[in-house]
Amino acid sequence: MMKKKAIILLSGGLDSTTTLYYAKKHGYECHALIFDYGQRHKKEVRSAVAVALLESVAYHVMRIKLPWKGSSLLDKKTKVPTNRKMKGIPSTYVPARNTIFLSFALSYAEAIEAQVIFIGANAVDFSGYPDCRPKFYQAFHSVIKEGTKAQKIKILTPLIDLSKAEIIKLAIKLKVPLELTWSCYQGGQKPCGICDSCRLRQRGFDSIS
């Protein structure tokens, strides 16, 4: 019996890497889609490639440009917020990023006849991004139904309702190589520890210790 094919949006971070291992655990033939979209650093891209190679997963690195910027992750002249109160939409939000990524993933899925697209979106510990909410993914299914030949491709978000601590517990259970993942918005030798992503990740580890 042939395995079902799945497209995995793989950023190299904790959530997307855990999602890849989740998909493999559930028997999917995985095809990773990695985006180099002009973000502040390439460290997360290298992490994603390292994970894909470790798991012998087919992958594509998509290099795209968003010259209009609109995010502190794209514009190095804009500082990444640190130690902020986790309220509102932060400057690290990249306009319509997940819409763009899912559109590429949908095209890829149709082309290779994949049945599902996995994305490691999380709505519990998320940093205020509107495209990490369950309603967004529910709405995108209407786009698939009305605008594609395949029509029945599903978007799966297995981490959407999990806390960061629960995601880490799942990652440990799935034997995710956490040391290969990179979550920090900065691209230094070590995680900065004070950006939203670092703080959410550390909070999760603190919760299970």
pLDDT in the model for residue 55 = 97
pLDDT in the model for residue 124 = 77
Q: What is the pLDDT of residues 130-143, one digit of tens each?
A: 999 999 999 999 99
The percentage of residues in the chain with a pLDDT greater than 90, rounded to a whole number, is 86
pLDDT in the model for residue 84 = 78
List the structure tokens of 119. Answer: 């994305």
Query: Does residue 2 carry a pLDDT above 90?
Result: no
Query: Does residue 1 carry a pLDDT above 90?
Result: no
- In DSSP notation, 75-133 reads -TTSPPPBS--S-S--TTPPTTHHHHHHHHHHHHHHHHT-SEEE----SSS--S-GGGS
Query: Does residue 179 carry a pLDDT above 70?
Result: yes
Q: Check: CB of residue 34 under 8 Å from CB of residue 12.
A: yes
pLDDT in the model for residue 38 = 94
pLDDT in the model for residue 87 = 76
Average pLDDT of span 21-43: 96
Give the span between the Cα atoms of 183 and 135, in whole angstroms: 24
Q: What is the pLDDT of residues 94-137, one digit of tens each?
A: 999 999 999 999 999 999 999 999 999 998 765 679 999 999 99
pLDDT in the model for residue 155 = 98
Q: Name residue 156's beta-bridge partners.
A: 118
Give the span between the Cα atoms of 121 and 118, in whole angstroms: 9
Q: Check which CATH number belongs to the domain holding 197 and give it.
A: 3.40.50.620
Give me the number of domains the chain comprises. 1
Q: What is the pLDDT of residues 59-92, one digit of tens each?
A: 999 999 999 999 999 998 999 988 877 678 899 9
pLDDT bucket at 177, cuts 50 / 70 / 90: very high
Residue 98 CA, chain-centre distance (Å), reads: 9
Domain range for 38 is: 5-208
pLDDT bucket at 187, cuts 50 / 70 / 90: confident
Give the span between the Cα atoms of 130 and 40, in whole angstroms: 21
Query: Per 3-state DSSP, what percentage of the chain is helix, strand, and coil (rounded to 5)?
Result: 40, 15, 45
